A and B are shown apart, each in its own frame.
Chain A
Amino acid sequence: MSDVLLKVSGVSVSIPTGQGNVHAVDDAAFSINKHEVFSLIGESGSGKSILGQAIMRLLPPNAVFSGKVELDGTEISALSEKEMQKIRGKTVASIAQNPYLAMNPGIRVGTQVAEPMRAHLGLSKEDAKARTRRALKYFDILPPEVREREYPFQYSGGMLQRAMVAMGTAADPELIIADEPTKGVDVLKRRNIAAIFQKVASEGCAFLLITHDVGFARAMSDRIAVNYCGQIIEIAGKDAFFKEPLHPYSKALLDAVPERGMHPIPGSSPSMIEVPEGCRFHPRCPHKTERCLADPPVVEMARRCVRCWLYA
């Protein structure tokens, strides 16, 4: 069997709204290997969360999806909803941004953590309970016998986030999709999230981190993809990316980080309804030429690729 766990090819999502079609994802293609931490970084509103939802098949009902998502060799984008339910939580789990919104406030945390085990692993009530206790203990939710009987509002934010990771990993998934795990969280809590994610990743679980936090992506990931206005414009290994980003937008994004002097990117983000013609970054790009009005090619290089005419 090959090493590729998730393969996304030619995925496009558009969402019809009152003002016109929002082209949230355009021709996304990437693959995640087993045991790999892959980050998708970009500004808010660049379509990265929609891409995550498209992989999980949790898009809003009016969204128009096209393309192919393969997980472990099976094409999950073609599965029926019933078959998909067997995969969600079992092979791919997702961790939402706000744990208070993602957990059911009326069900005890222990029951919620045990649910994927009961549903996907077919464990009996007793086995699931014992395993839940072990999982809570593993994530420092102590004492598990007391904590499993509590409701989400009795937990602190950091603890509930850990409980949610426990729930996500309950059925031993091979891939976890985490959507903005560090948004609005202070540095110490962010470090804690990084620590528990690394704990899970060290046991062989692959991650797709969807984030706008460049520092977090840098600390966590093996490979990085940059998303701009619905398109993935660059994919590279972490070290290569931070040493020398190729796409002009990647360069501008890294220069905007406080460590590099907070240089703002000129211009403003384009509308997702009327996207710029050709290269989507060309109105703000310092290197733009005539040819940028045509769609830029995806240039493949050794272990990285970039969507820009400069490298064609």
Chain B
Amino acid sequence: MLKAENLHCVYTSGLIKTVKKTAVCGVDLEIFPGETVAIVGESGCGKSTLAKMLVQQLAPTSGEVFFEGTKLTGMNWNNLGKFVGKIQLIPQNPDDVLDPRWTVERSVAEPFVVCGGLSREEISENVDALFAEVGLSAEHKPRYPHELSGGELQRVVIARALALKPELLVCDEATSMLDVSVQAFIVAVLKEIQTKRGLGLVFITHDLEAAKAVSDRVLVMYAGEIVEEGKDVFDRPLHPYTRALLDAVRYASLDVVLQEEDRALPDGFLGCPYFRLCRERTVACKEPQKLRDVSGRLVRCWKS
């Protein structure tokens, strides 16, 4: 359904002394209808940048995104309008996307108003249906964002994302700021909507256990690259980075503290980005690593 080819994103800052930072480099991915894909990785590995490029909020530096065969990148805004409703982003912090001066009812009704063609009664009916779908009651409708709890706000954002009948939802850390019980509730809401509407779901998270509980397929990202992809990644991790992540979740090997300052690689280093931190590194790791197919799993490590 959604296909991304060789996506790159480079952020530049500074006018005189330009600093370039590569956030995403060379990501290929494909999402099939009705499938849940989890993208996991630590903060700063380019997950959110990737999410923004998938929903066309950010133009990639190079690379292409296709939706059901149509190329979205580089499309002009008028034509893109038909597709933005089909792919919706649910952000990490619902406060960032809801207007604090609007009632949540108005925020949820906005997509219908923008698209036009509906009478006021029809809009109100649709909004009621959406509120019911995400488990909010009518008493929440006239409230303002500051009057709702984090879990309720996240449900409002989901309701708004569902308004234009999307075929793909991209959840960017949608549950990581919430408590476990609320998190479980939001995931249950998303899953229910998915089975009812047959949506594709991209679940971006740093919580591996949540990813495992939710997804059909997992992609592990490190330093802007996909280092491992497959169905049973967590039961049989092949890349050293995936193993390190799993150890961290289980609080195994507490003595090794990864220092973020030691990660910087020398300029022009083309080898494995995980080189400095990998405990199993050899000279061969200085060569560029390619994604290799290992019994139905893609791994970016020559050792696997």
Contacts and interface: CB of A to CB of B under 8 A. Distances in A.
B184 A187 contact: no
Interface in B135-182: 149-151, 176-177, 179-182
A262 B184 CA distance: 5
A140 B257 contact: yes
B262 to A, nearest CB: 10
Interface in A190-206: 190-192, 194-196, 198
Most buried by A among B180, B207, B244, B249: B180
A196 B258 CA distance: 12
Interface stretch (A8-16, A238-246, A253-261): A253-261
Interface in A102-155: 140
B183 A184 contact: no
B257 A186 contact: no
B210 interface: yes
Contacts of B254: 191, 194-195, 198
B184 A195 contact: no
Contacts of A268: 151
Contacts of A264: 181, 184-185, 187-188
A262 B190 CA distance: 12
A44 interface: yes
Interface string A231-273: 0000000000000000000001100111101111100110000
A158 B206 contact: no
Interface string A34-71: 00000000011100000000000000000000000000
A269 B303 CA distance: 50
Contact of A258 (B213, B247, B251, B257): B213
A191 B176 CA distance: 16
Interface string B203-217: 000111110111000
A119 to B, nearest CB: 30
Contacts of A140: 257, 259
Contacts of B150: 44
Contacts of B181: 43, 252-253, 256, 264-265
B258 A43 contact: no
Contacts of A196: 257
A1 interface: no
A157 to B, nearest CB: 8
B244 to A, nearest CB: 7
Contacts of A90: none
A184 B260 contact: no
A310 B12 CA distance: 62
Which bracket fits the contact residues of A?
35 or more
A140 B259 CA distance: 9
B192 to A, nearest CB: 11
A185 to B, nearest CB: 8
Contacts of B258: 188, 192
Given A212-B179, A253-B181, A258 B210 contact: yes
Contacts of B244: 188
B121 interface: no
Most buried by A among B177, B183, B244, B255: B183
Contact of A262 (B208, B213, B259): B213
Interface of A: 43-45, 140, 156, 158-159, 183-184, 186-192, 194-196, 198, 212-215, 219, 252-253, 256-259, 261-265, 268-269
Closest 5 CB pairs of A and B: A258-B209, A264-B185, A219-B251, A191-B248, A186-B206
Interface of B: 42-43, 149-151, 176-177, 179-185, 187-188, 206-210, 212-214, 244-245, 247-249, 251, 254-255, 257-261
